[in-house]
Amino acid sequence: MTELFIPVPTGSVAAAGQMPPPKRRKPDKAPATPIQSNSRESVSARNNGSTSTAPVYHKQSRKGRTSRLRTAKKNKDLNGAIIKDQEYLDFLEWLKNMGCPRTKLTLAEFSNTGRGMMATKDIKAGEVIVQVPERNLVTMKSLQSTYGARIARFGKKVNSHMIIALHIALLVQAPERSGWLPYLRMLPKKFDTMPVRYPSELLELLPQNAQVHVKKQKAKIEADYNITLDFLQTNADLLTRPLQYEEYEWAWLVVNTRCIYLDAKNQSAADNIALAPMLDFLNHTHDAKTEGAFCTKTKSYQIKTLLPYKKGEQVFINYGPHDNCFILVEYGFVTPNNPYNYVTVDNDFMQLSIPGESAAAKKDKLELLDMAGYHGDYVLHRNDVSFRLLAGMRLRLVNPFNKSSVATQLAIAQWHNVVNGELDQISPENERLVPIHIERLCDEILALAKKNLGILARKKTTFTVMHLQQVWIEARDIILSIIDKIHRKEEL
Protein backbone atom coordinates (compact mmCIF):
# COMPACT_ATOMS: atom_id res chain seq x y z
CA MET A 1 0.00 0.00 0.00
CA THR A 2 1.30 3.45 -0.91
CA GLU A 3 2.01 5.65 2.10
CA LEU A 4 -0.78 8.22 2.37
CA PHE A 5 -0.17 11.90 2.86
CA ILE A 6 -1.61 13.19 6.13
CA PRO A 7 -1.78 16.84 7.20
CA VAL A 8 1.38 17.06 9.27
CA PRO A 9 2.03 18.18 12.87
CA THR A 10 3.65 21.31 14.25
CA GLY A 11 6.69 22.57 12.43
CA SER A 12 5.57 21.54 8.97
CA VAL A 13 4.76 23.86 6.08
CA ALA A 14 1.06 24.74 6.02
CA ALA A 15 -0.90 24.88 2.80
CA ALA A 16 -0.96 28.30 1.23
CA GLY A 17 -3.99 30.56 0.94
CA GLN A 18 -6.79 31.85 3.12
CA MET A 19 -10.01 30.13 3.99
CA PRO A 20 -13.12 32.26 4.38
CA PRO A 21 -15.70 31.47 7.08
CA PRO A 22 -18.16 28.61 6.72
CA LYS A 23 -21.87 29.12 6.39
CA ARG A 24 -22.98 25.63 7.19
CA ARG A 25 -21.12 23.05 9.16
CA LYS A 26 -21.86 19.35 8.97
CA PRO A 27 -21.37 17.42 12.18
CA ASP A 28 -22.57 13.92 12.86
CA LYS A 29 -24.94 13.45 15.71
CA ALA A 30 -26.09 10.41 17.59
CA PRO A 31 -29.32 10.96 19.52
CA ALA A 32 -29.41 11.18 23.27
CA THR A 33 -33.09 11.97 23.83
CA PRO A 34 -36.35 11.52 21.92
CA ILE A 35 -35.98 15.10 20.71
CA GLN A 36 -32.35 15.94 20.12
CA SER A 37 -29.37 13.79 19.31
CA ASN A 38 -26.30 15.95 19.29
CA SER A 39 -24.08 13.27 20.78
CA ARG A 40 -20.61 12.55 19.44
CA GLU A 41 -20.44 9.05 20.85
CA SER A 42 -20.54 5.87 18.83
CA VAL A 43 -24.10 4.88 18.03
CA SER A 44 -23.28 1.20 17.72
CA ALA A 45 -24.59 0.34 21.18
CA ARG A 46 -27.71 2.43 20.71
CA ASN A 47 -29.24 0.82 17.65
CA ASN A 48 -30.84 -2.54 18.19
CA GLY A 49 -30.75 -5.18 15.52
CA SER A 50 -28.33 -3.34 13.24
CA THR A 51 -26.64 -5.40 10.56
CA SER A 52 -24.54 -2.61 9.06
CA THR A 53 -20.82 -3.12 8.61
CA ALA A 54 -18.90 -0.74 10.83
CA PRO A 55 -15.22 -0.10 10.21
CA VAL A 56 -12.83 -1.56 12.75
CA TYR A 57 -9.66 0.42 13.20
CA HIS A 58 -8.34 -0.26 16.69
CA LYS A 59 -7.79 -3.33 18.80
CA GLN A 60 -9.68 -2.33 21.93
CA SER A 61 -13.39 -1.68 21.53
CA ARG A 62 -14.70 1.65 22.61
CA LYS A 63 -16.29 1.80 26.04
CA GLY A 64 -20.06 1.65 26.09
CA ARG A 65 -22.39 4.47 27.07
CA THR A 66 -22.96 3.08 30.61
CA SER A 67 -19.23 2.81 31.27
CA ARG A 68 -18.62 6.33 29.99
CA LEU A 69 -21.44 7.76 32.06
CA ARG A 70 -20.05 6.03 35.14
CA THR A 71 -16.68 7.62 34.49
CA ALA A 72 -18.30 10.94 33.65
CA LYS A 73 -20.25 11.05 36.91
CA LYS A 74 -16.95 11.01 38.79
CA ASN A 75 -16.09 14.26 36.99
CA LYS A 76 -19.49 15.93 37.19
CA ASP A 77 -19.39 19.68 36.65
CA LEU A 78 -22.54 21.82 36.76
CA ASN A 79 -24.82 21.14 33.75
CA GLY A 80 -22.80 18.29 32.26
CA ALA A 81 -20.53 15.43 33.25
CA ILE A 82 -16.94 15.79 32.08
CA ILE A 83 -15.65 12.84 30.05
CA LYS A 84 -12.09 11.67 30.68
CA ASP A 85 -11.97 8.29 29.01
CA GLN A 86 -8.67 7.17 27.54
CA GLU A 87 -9.69 7.69 23.92
CA TYR A 88 -10.51 11.33 24.57
CA LEU A 89 -7.32 11.87 26.57
CA ASP A 90 -5.33 10.34 23.69
CA PHE A 91 -7.18 12.64 21.29
CA LEU A 92 -6.29 15.70 23.41
CA GLU A 93 -2.63 14.67 23.43
CA TRP A 94 -2.81 14.19 19.65
CA LEU A 95 -4.28 17.68 19.23
CA LYS A 96 -1.47 19.10 21.37
CA ASN A 97 1.15 17.35 19.24
CA MET A 98 -0.57 18.63 16.09
CA GLY A 99 -0.21 22.19 17.37
CA CYS A 100 -3.83 22.92 18.26
CA PRO A 101 -4.12 25.73 20.86
CA ARG A 102 -5.74 24.97 24.20
CA THR A 103 -9.36 26.00 24.60
CA LYS A 104 -11.85 26.68 27.36
CA LEU A 105 -13.80 23.61 26.24
CA THR A 106 -13.88 19.99 27.26
CA LEU A 107 -15.90 17.00 26.13
CA ALA A 108 -18.84 16.25 28.41
CA GLU A 109 -22.02 14.19 28.61
CA PHE A 110 -25.22 16.23 28.81
CA SER A 111 -28.59 14.81 29.81
CA ASN A 112 -30.48 16.49 26.96
CA THR A 113 -28.00 16.31 24.06
CA GLY A 114 -25.51 13.56 24.85
CA ARG A 115 -21.88 14.32 24.06
CA GLY A 116 -20.95 17.93 23.51
CA MET A 117 -18.49 20.64 24.51
CA MET A 118 -18.62 22.22 27.97
CA ALA A 119 -17.10 25.53 28.99
CA THR A 120 -14.35 24.95 31.59
CA LYS A 121 -14.21 28.68 32.30
CA ASP A 122 -16.51 31.63 31.65
CA ILE A 123 -16.46 32.59 27.95
CA LYS A 124 -17.12 36.15 26.84
CA ALA A 125 -19.09 37.18 23.77
CA GLY A 126 -16.67 37.65 20.88
CA GLU A 127 -14.19 35.12 22.23
CA VAL A 128 -12.62 32.43 20.02
CA ILE A 129 -13.76 29.02 21.26
CA VAL A 130 -11.98 26.71 18.77
CA GLN A 131 -8.91 27.08 16.56
CA VAL A 132 -7.95 24.43 14.01
CA PRO A 133 -4.51 25.03 12.46
CA GLU A 134 -4.53 25.13 8.68
CA ARG A 135 -2.25 22.10 8.47
CA ASN A 136 -4.84 20.04 10.38
CA LEU A 137 -7.69 20.76 7.96
CA VAL A 138 -8.35 17.85 5.62
CA THR A 139 -9.18 19.42 2.27
CA MET A 140 -8.86 18.63 -1.41
CA LYS A 141 -5.89 20.98 -1.44
CA SER A 142 -4.12 19.31 1.49
CA LEU A 143 -4.49 15.93 -0.23
CA GLN A 144 -3.05 17.06 -3.55
CA SER A 145 0.33 15.42 -2.95
CA THR A 146 -1.35 12.02 -2.64
CA TYR A 147 -4.19 12.28 -5.14
CA GLY A 148 -3.54 15.25 -7.43
CA ALA A 149 -1.53 13.49 -10.14
CA ARG A 150 -3.69 10.39 -9.85
CA ILE A 151 -6.86 12.44 -10.36
CA ALA A 152 -5.34 14.18 -13.36
CA ARG A 153 -4.52 10.82 -14.95
CA PHE A 154 -7.99 9.47 -14.08
CA GLY A 155 -9.64 11.96 -16.39
CA LYS A 156 -13.13 11.76 -14.85
CA LYS A 157 -14.80 14.38 -12.72
CA VAL A 158 -14.30 13.97 -8.99
CA ASN A 159 -15.07 16.31 -6.11
CA SER A 160 -13.66 16.97 -2.66
CA HIS A 161 -16.38 15.05 -0.85
CA MET A 162 -15.58 11.95 -2.87
CA ILE A 163 -11.83 12.19 -2.37
CA ILE A 164 -11.92 13.09 1.34
CA ALA A 165 -14.30 10.16 1.92
CA LEU A 166 -11.94 7.84 0.07
CA HIS A 167 -9.04 9.21 2.10
CA ILE A 168 -10.83 8.54 5.41
CA ALA A 169 -11.72 5.02 4.26
CA LEU A 170 -8.08 4.35 3.34
CA LEU A 171 -6.88 5.68 6.71
CA VAL A 172 -9.19 3.21 8.41
CA GLN A 173 -7.62 0.38 6.41
CA ALA A 174 -4.19 1.23 7.83
CA PRO A 175 -4.79 3.39 10.93
CA GLU A 176 -1.60 2.58 12.79
CA ARG A 177 0.47 3.95 9.88
CA SER A 178 -1.57 7.08 9.33
CA GLY A 179 -0.75 9.05 12.48
CA TRP A 180 -4.43 9.92 12.80
CA LEU A 181 -5.56 6.97 14.90
CA PRO A 182 -6.63 9.13 17.90
CA TYR A 183 -8.97 11.11 15.61
CA LEU A 184 -10.27 8.00 13.85
CA ARG A 185 -11.17 6.47 17.22
CA MET A 186 -13.34 9.48 18.04
CA LEU A 187 -15.45 9.10 14.89
CA PRO A 188 -18.86 7.39 15.09
CA LYS A 189 -18.71 3.66 14.50
CA LYS A 190 -22.10 3.59 12.77
CA PHE A 191 -24.65 5.99 11.33
CA ASP A 192 -27.82 4.03 11.99
CA THR A 193 -29.72 7.16 13.03
CA MET A 194 -29.22 8.55 9.52
CA PRO A 195 -32.32 7.94 7.36
CA VAL A 196 -30.11 6.70 4.50
CA ARG A 197 -29.38 3.75 6.81
CA TYR A 198 -33.04 3.14 7.77
CA PRO A 199 -34.66 -0.20 6.99
CA SER A 200 -37.44 0.12 4.40
CA GLU A 201 -40.26 -0.12 6.95
CA LEU A 202 -38.94 2.98 8.76
CA LEU A 203 -37.98 4.83 5.60
CA GLU A 204 -41.61 4.58 4.49
CA LEU A 205 -42.65 6.40 7.67
CA LEU A 206 -40.71 9.54 6.78
CA PRO A 207 -42.63 12.48 5.29
CA GLN A 208 -42.68 12.29 1.49
CA ASN A 209 -40.28 15.20 0.95
CA ALA A 210 -37.78 13.59 3.35
CA GLN A 211 -38.07 10.27 1.50
CA VAL A 212 -37.19 12.04 -1.75
CA HIS A 213 -34.22 13.68 -0.03
CA VAL A 214 -32.99 10.30 1.27
CA LYS A 215 -33.29 8.66 -2.15
CA LYS A 216 -31.22 11.43 -3.73
CA GLN A 217 -28.62 11.10 -1.00
CA LYS A 218 -28.47 7.32 -1.45
CA ALA A 219 -28.08 7.72 -5.21
CA LYS A 220 -25.28 10.24 -4.65
CA ILE A 221 -23.37 7.90 -2.35
CA GLU A 222 -23.73 5.00 -4.81
CA ALA A 223 -22.61 7.15 -7.74
CA ASP A 224 -19.58 8.42 -5.81
CA TYR A 225 -18.71 4.86 -4.77
CA ASN A 226 -18.85 3.62 -8.36
CA ILE A 227 -16.61 6.45 -9.56
CA THR A 228 -14.25 5.73 -6.67
CA LEU A 229 -14.06 2.07 -7.69
CA ASP A 230 -13.17 3.18 -11.22
CA PHE A 231 -10.50 5.45 -9.76
CA LEU A 232 -9.07 2.60 -7.70
CA GLN A 233 -8.85 0.33 -10.74
CA THR A 234 -5.72 2.23 -11.76
CA ASN A 235 -4.66 3.16 -8.21
CA ALA A 236 -4.88 -0.20 -6.47
CA ASP A 237 -1.57 0.48 -4.68
CA LEU A 238 -3.53 2.76 -2.32
CA LEU A 239 -5.48 -0.20 -0.95
CA THR A 240 -4.67 -2.82 1.65
CA ARG A 241 -7.88 -4.65 0.76
CA PRO A 242 -10.83 -4.12 -1.64
CA LEU A 243 -13.00 -1.16 -0.66
CA GLN A 244 -16.49 -2.38 0.26
CA TYR A 245 -19.59 -0.25 -0.20
CA GLU A 246 -20.30 -0.23 3.56
CA GLU A 247 -16.81 1.15 4.22
CA TYR A 248 -17.20 3.90 1.67
CA GLU A 249 -20.73 4.79 2.78
CA TRP A 250 -19.49 5.16 6.36
CA ALA A 251 -16.62 7.43 5.26
CA TRP A 252 -18.95 9.44 2.98
CA LEU A 253 -21.27 10.03 5.93
CA VAL A 254 -18.33 11.03 8.13
CA VAL A 255 -17.57 13.79 5.65
CA ASN A 256 -21.20 14.72 5.05
CA THR A 257 -22.02 15.06 8.74
CA ARG A 258 -18.79 16.64 9.99
CA CYS A 259 -17.42 18.88 7.26
CA ILE A 260 -17.41 22.66 7.13
CA TYR A 261 -17.73 24.94 4.13
CA LEU A 262 -14.59 27.00 3.82
CA ASP A 263 -16.22 29.75 1.73
CA ALA A 264 -19.62 30.92 2.89
CA LYS A 265 -20.16 32.73 -0.40
CA ASN A 266 -19.60 29.61 -2.48
CA GLN A 267 -21.30 26.71 -0.72
CA SER A 268 -22.06 24.92 -3.96
CA ALA A 269 -18.40 24.61 -4.95
CA ALA A 270 -17.37 20.96 -5.08
CA ASP A 271 -13.93 21.66 -3.60
CA ASN A 272 -15.13 23.92 -0.83
CA ILE A 273 -15.28 21.58 2.18
CA ALA A 274 -12.92 20.43 4.93
CA LEU A 275 -12.78 18.15 7.95
CA ALA A 276 -11.70 20.07 11.06
CA PRO A 277 -10.81 17.87 14.06
CA MET A 278 -12.10 19.23 17.39
CA LEU A 279 -14.50 21.71 15.79
CA ASP A 280 -16.80 18.80 14.96
CA PHE A 281 -17.53 18.08 18.64
CA LEU A 282 -19.61 21.25 18.89
CA ASN A 283 -23.34 20.55 18.88
CA HIS A 284 -26.04 22.50 17.10
CA THR A 285 -28.81 24.70 18.33
CA HIS A 286 -30.83 27.07 16.16
CA ASP A 287 -30.31 30.05 18.49
CA ALA A 288 -26.51 29.81 18.76
CA LYS A 289 -24.66 32.80 17.31
CA THR A 290 -21.18 32.13 15.98
CA GLU A 291 -18.76 33.32 13.32
CA GLY A 292 -16.16 31.28 11.47
CA ALA A 293 -13.13 32.66 9.69
CA PHE A 294 -9.56 31.86 8.75
CA CYS A 295 -7.08 33.95 10.75
CA THR A 296 -3.97 34.78 8.74
CA LYS A 297 -2.10 35.75 11.90
CA THR A 298 -2.52 32.37 13.62
CA LYS A 299 -2.80 30.36 10.39
CA SER A 300 -5.88 28.65 11.78
CA TYR A 301 -9.58 28.35 11.20
CA GLN A 302 -11.41 29.94 14.13
CA ILE A 303 -14.90 29.74 15.56
CA LYS A 304 -15.97 32.77 17.57
CA THR A 305 -19.06 32.85 19.78
CA LEU A 306 -21.20 35.98 19.79
CA LEU A 307 -22.91 34.83 22.99
CA PRO A 308 -21.35 34.49 26.46
CA TYR A 309 -21.24 31.16 28.31
CA LYS A 310 -20.80 30.38 32.00
CA LYS A 311 -18.46 27.69 33.27
CA GLY A 312 -20.20 24.32 33.04
CA GLU A 313 -22.61 25.32 30.25
CA GLN A 314 -22.69 23.53 26.92
CA VAL A 315 -21.26 25.62 24.07
CA PHE A 316 -23.06 25.40 20.73
CA ILE A 317 -22.66 26.19 17.07
CA ASN A 318 -25.41 26.90 14.51
CA TYR A 319 -25.56 24.84 11.31
CA GLY A 320 -28.04 27.17 9.66
CA PRO A 321 -31.82 27.79 9.37
CA HIS A 322 -32.90 24.20 8.67
CA ASP A 323 -36.09 22.35 9.57
CA ASN A 324 -36.01 19.02 11.39
CA CYS A 325 -36.62 16.92 8.27
CA PHE A 326 -33.50 18.38 6.67
CA ILE A 327 -31.47 18.04 9.86
CA LEU A 328 -32.62 14.44 10.31
CA VAL A 329 -31.69 13.41 6.76
CA GLU A 330 -28.35 15.27 6.72
CA TYR A 331 -27.21 14.80 10.31
CA GLY A 332 -29.30 12.06 11.92
CA PHE A 333 -30.98 13.99 14.74
CA VAL A 334 -33.80 16.45 15.42
CA THR A 335 -33.93 19.53 17.64
CA PRO A 336 -36.61 20.71 20.08
CA ASN A 337 -38.63 23.86 19.42
CA ASN A 338 -37.14 24.33 15.98
CA PRO A 339 -38.66 27.56 14.59
CA TYR A 340 -37.79 26.56 11.02
CA ASN A 341 -40.08 23.52 10.93
CA TYR A 342 -42.71 23.32 8.20
CA VAL A 343 -44.87 20.74 6.45
CA THR A 344 -44.47 20.20 2.70
CA VAL A 345 -47.79 19.53 0.96
CA ASP A 346 -46.80 19.23 -2.71
CA ASN A 347 -48.08 15.66 -3.14
CA ASP A 348 -51.23 16.39 -1.17
CA PHE A 349 -51.92 19.42 -3.35
CA MET A 350 -51.46 17.34 -6.50
CA GLN A 351 -53.79 14.60 -5.26
CA LEU A 352 -56.45 16.94 -3.89
CA SER A 353 -59.76 16.45 -5.66
CA ILE A 354 -61.48 19.72 -6.59
CA PRO A 355 -65.23 19.46 -7.32
CA GLY A 356 -65.98 20.31 -10.95
CA GLU A 357 -62.33 20.19 -12.03
CA SER A 358 -61.73 17.95 -15.05
CA ALA A 359 -58.45 16.14 -15.66
CA ALA A 360 -57.77 18.39 -18.66
CA ALA A 361 -58.47 21.53 -16.64
CA LYS A 362 -56.16 20.36 -13.84
CA LYS A 363 -53.38 19.71 -16.36
CA ASP A 364 -53.81 23.19 -17.86
CA LYS A 365 -53.74 24.81 -14.42
CA LEU A 366 -50.58 22.97 -13.40
CA GLU A 367 -48.90 24.03 -16.64
CA LEU A 368 -49.93 27.62 -15.96
CA LEU A 369 -48.56 27.40 -12.41
CA ASP A 370 -45.30 26.04 -13.80
CA MET A 371 -45.01 28.83 -16.38
CA ALA A 372 -45.68 31.45 -13.70
CA GLY A 373 -43.11 29.90 -11.31
CA TYR A 374 -45.68 28.78 -8.75
CA HIS A 375 -45.65 25.01 -9.25
CA GLY A 376 -44.61 23.16 -6.10
CA ASP A 377 -42.77 24.15 -2.94
CA TYR A 378 -46.09 24.40 -1.10
CA VAL A 379 -45.61 24.52 2.67
CA LEU A 380 -47.44 25.12 5.91
CA HIS A 381 -45.72 26.82 8.82
CA ARG A 382 -47.15 27.12 12.30
CA ASN A 383 -50.04 29.57 11.93
CA ASP A 384 -48.99 30.43 8.38
CA VAL A 385 -49.88 29.19 4.90
CA SER A 386 -47.23 29.89 2.28
CA PHE A 387 -48.13 32.40 -0.41
CA ARG A 388 -47.21 29.83 -3.06
CA LEU A 389 -49.80 27.40 -1.73
CA LEU A 390 -52.46 30.11 -1.61
CA ALA A 391 -51.61 31.07 -5.20
CA GLY A 392 -51.83 27.46 -6.34
CA MET A 393 -55.10 26.84 -4.51
CA ARG A 394 -56.73 29.98 -5.90
CA LEU A 395 -55.99 28.85 -9.45
CA ARG A 396 -57.11 25.27 -8.79
CA LEU A 397 -60.45 26.66 -7.57
CA VAL A 398 -61.18 28.53 -10.81
CA ASN A 399 -64.07 26.45 -12.20
CA PRO A 400 -65.22 25.93 -14.85
CA PHE A 401 -61.83 26.26 -16.55
CA ASN A 402 -61.59 26.39 -20.33
CA LYS A 403 -58.60 28.24 -21.73
CA SER A 404 -60.47 29.17 -24.90
CA SER A 405 -63.31 30.90 -23.03
CA VAL A 406 -63.36 34.63 -22.29
CA ALA A 407 -64.47 34.00 -18.68
CA THR A 408 -61.49 31.73 -18.00
CA GLN A 409 -59.06 34.18 -19.59
CA LEU A 410 -60.47 36.93 -17.37
CA ALA A 411 -60.10 34.71 -14.30
CA ILE A 412 -56.50 33.91 -15.27
CA ALA A 413 -55.77 37.64 -15.68
CA GLN A 414 -57.29 38.33 -12.26
CA TRP A 415 -55.25 35.46 -10.78
CA HIS A 416 -52.06 37.04 -12.14
CA ASN A 417 -53.11 40.37 -10.61
CA VAL A 418 -53.64 38.69 -7.21
CA VAL A 419 -50.23 37.03 -7.43
CA ASN A 420 -48.65 40.37 -8.32
CA GLY A 421 -50.42 42.11 -5.45
CA GLU A 422 -52.60 44.29 -7.66
CA LEU A 423 -55.86 42.61 -6.54
CA ASP A 424 -56.87 41.02 -3.23
CA GLN A 425 -58.92 38.22 -4.76
CA ILE A 426 -60.10 36.61 -7.98
CA SER A 427 -63.68 36.66 -6.71
CA PRO A 428 -65.47 36.49 -3.35
CA GLU A 429 -66.54 32.90 -4.06
CA ASN A 430 -63.01 31.85 -4.97
CA GLU A 431 -61.68 33.41 -1.78
CA ARG A 432 -64.40 31.73 0.31
CA LEU A 433 -63.43 28.30 -1.03
CA VAL A 434 -59.68 28.69 -0.37
CA PRO A 435 -59.72 28.01 3.41
CA ILE A 436 -62.26 25.22 2.93
CA HIS A 437 -59.92 23.32 0.62
CA ILE A 438 -56.82 24.19 2.65
CA GLU A 439 -58.59 22.53 5.57
CA ARG A 440 -59.41 19.49 3.42
CA LEU A 441 -55.74 19.26 2.55
CA CYS A 442 -54.84 19.60 6.24
CA ASP A 443 -57.27 16.85 7.17
CA GLU A 444 -55.50 14.44 4.81
CA ILE A 445 -52.09 15.20 6.30
CA LEU A 446 -53.45 15.07 9.85
CA ALA A 447 -54.87 11.61 9.20
CA LEU A 448 -51.48 10.46 7.87
CA ALA A 449 -49.67 11.91 10.89
CA LYS A 450 -52.01 10.11 13.29
CA LYS A 451 -51.67 6.86 11.33
CA ASN A 452 -47.87 6.97 11.35
CA LEU A 453 -47.72 7.94 15.01
CA GLY A 454 -49.93 4.94 15.75
CA ILE A 455 -47.57 2.64 13.83
CA LEU A 456 -44.53 4.10 15.59
CA ALA A 457 -46.16 3.72 19.01
CA ARG A 458 -46.31 -0.03 18.45
CA LYS A 459 -42.62 -0.31 17.58
CA LYS A 460 -39.77 -0.93 19.98
CA THR A 461 -38.48 2.37 21.31
CA THR A 462 -35.21 3.33 19.62
CA PHE A 463 -33.69 6.70 18.86
CA THR A 464 -34.72 6.32 15.22
CA VAL A 465 -38.33 5.68 16.21
CA MET A 466 -38.27 8.65 18.58
CA HIS A 467 -36.91 10.89 15.84
CA LEU A 468 -39.72 9.87 13.51
CA GLN A 469 -42.26 10.41 16.27
CA GLN A 470 -40.92 13.90 16.86
CA VAL A 471 -41.15 14.77 13.17
CA TRP A 472 -44.78 13.62 12.94
CA ILE A 473 -45.75 15.27 16.23
CA GLU A 474 -44.39 18.53 14.85
CA ALA A 475 -46.26 18.03 11.58
CA ARG A 476 -49.47 17.28 13.46
CA ASP A 477 -49.11 20.39 15.61
CA ILE A 478 -48.45 22.62 12.61
CA ILE A 479 -51.53 21.24 10.84
CA LEU A 480 -53.68 21.69 13.95
CA SER A 481 -52.53 25.31 14.23
CA ILE A 482 -53.65 25.98 10.63
CA ILE A 483 -57.01 24.26 11.17
CA ASP A 484 -57.54 26.31 14.32
CA LYS A 485 -56.73 29.48 12.40
CA ILE A 486 -59.29 28.56 9.72
CA HIS A 487 -61.96 27.82 12.35
CA ARG A 488 -61.31 31.21 13.92
CA LYS A 489 -61.82 32.70 10.46
CA GLU A 490 -58.46 34.44 10.54
CA GLU A 491 -56.78 35.55 7.35
CA LEU A 492 -54.47 32.95 5.89
Kindly state whether residues 384 and 354 are assigned to the same domain: yes
What amino acid is encoded at 472 in this protein?
Answer: W
Kindly state whether residues 286 and 419 are assigned to the same domain: no
Q: Which has the higher per-residue pLDDT, 2 or 16? A: 2
Residues 6 or more apart whose CB falls under 8 angstroms from that of 172 comprise 55, 57, 184, 247, 251
Percent residues over pLDDT 70 in the chain = 82
- Residue 153 pLDDT > 50: yes
Candidates 203, 251, 260, 208; CA nearest to 228 is 251
Candidates 226, 371, 311; CA nearest to 395 is 371
Report d(CA 283, CA 28) in Å as an integer: 9
Kindly state whether residues 279 and 353 are assigned to the same domain: no
Kindly state whether residues 364 and 324 are assigned to the same domain: no
Confidence of residue 381 (pLDDT cuts 50, 70, 90): very high
CATH number at residue 384: 3.90.1420
Kindly state whether residues 111 and 221 are assigned to the same domain: yes
398: in domain? yes
Confidence of residue 16 (pLDDT cuts 50, 70, 90): very low
Candidates 163, 184, 221, 200; CA nearest to 56 is 184
- Residue 394 pLDDT > 80: yes
- Residue 187 pLDDT > 60: yes
- pTM, two decimals, is 0.83
Least confident of 31-40, 365-374, 447-456: 31-40
Kindly state whether residues 139 and 259 are assigned to the same domain: yes
Report d(CA 90, CA 102) in Å as an integer: 15
Tell me the residue range of the domain where 143 lies.
65-331
45: in domain? no
Kindly state whether residues 469 and 378 are assigned to the same domain: yes
317: in domain? yes
413: in domain? yes
199: in domain? yes
- Quick check: bond before 207 cis, omega within 30? no
**pLDDT tens readout for residues 213-247:** 999 999 999 999 999 999 999 999 999 999 999 99
Give the number of domains in the chain.
Answer: 2
- Residue 266 pLDDT > 80: no
91: in domain? yes
- Residue 43 pLDDT > 90: no
Kindly state whether residues 307 and 349 are assigned to the same domain: no
Kindly state whether residues 365 and 467 are assigned to the same domain: yes
